[in-house]
Amino acid sequence: MFIALVNWDKCTGCGDCVDVCPVKCFEMSDGKSLAHRASYCIDCGNCPEVCPDDAIVISIGWGG
Ligand code: SF4
Ligand code: SF4
């Protein structure tokens, strides 16, 4: 299982990750991207590639 993590110290709120995620992991909250469905991630690679601030990390998550 993959987990999408957003570093709020880096995120500048462009919203691009919301647009490119095929499984809708992200939504905007208070001007930042919140990975509210982080565990839906299928590791497609779109969001780390598109994020201009290098704010997203995909990790191996709970349950392997
Ligand atoms: S890697 Fe793909 S599926 Fe995972 S959060 Fe990013 S855009 Fe969504
Ligand atoms: S693409 Fe990066 S900077 Fe833009 S909203 Fe998503 S996490 Fe924030």
How would you write the pLDDT of the chain (64 residues) with one tens digit per residue?
Answer: 999 999 999 999 999 999 999 999 999 999 999 999 999 999 999 999 999 999 999 999 765 5
The ligand 2 site (C-beta within 6 Å) comprises 6, 11-17, 33, 50-53, 55-56
Q: Could you tell me the distance, in angstroms and rounded to a whole number, from the CA of residue 60 to the centre of ligand 2?
A: 20
* Ramachandran quadrant class, 23 (left: phi over 0; alpha: psi -120 to 50; beta: rest): alpha
- Ligand 1 lined by 43 (C-beta under 6 Å): yes
What is the residue extent of each domain of the chain? 2-60
Query: How far is it, in rounded angstroms, from Cα 63 to Cα 20?
Result: 26
> Going by CATH, does the domain composed of 2-60 fall within 3.30.70.20?
yes
Quote the pTM value: 0.93
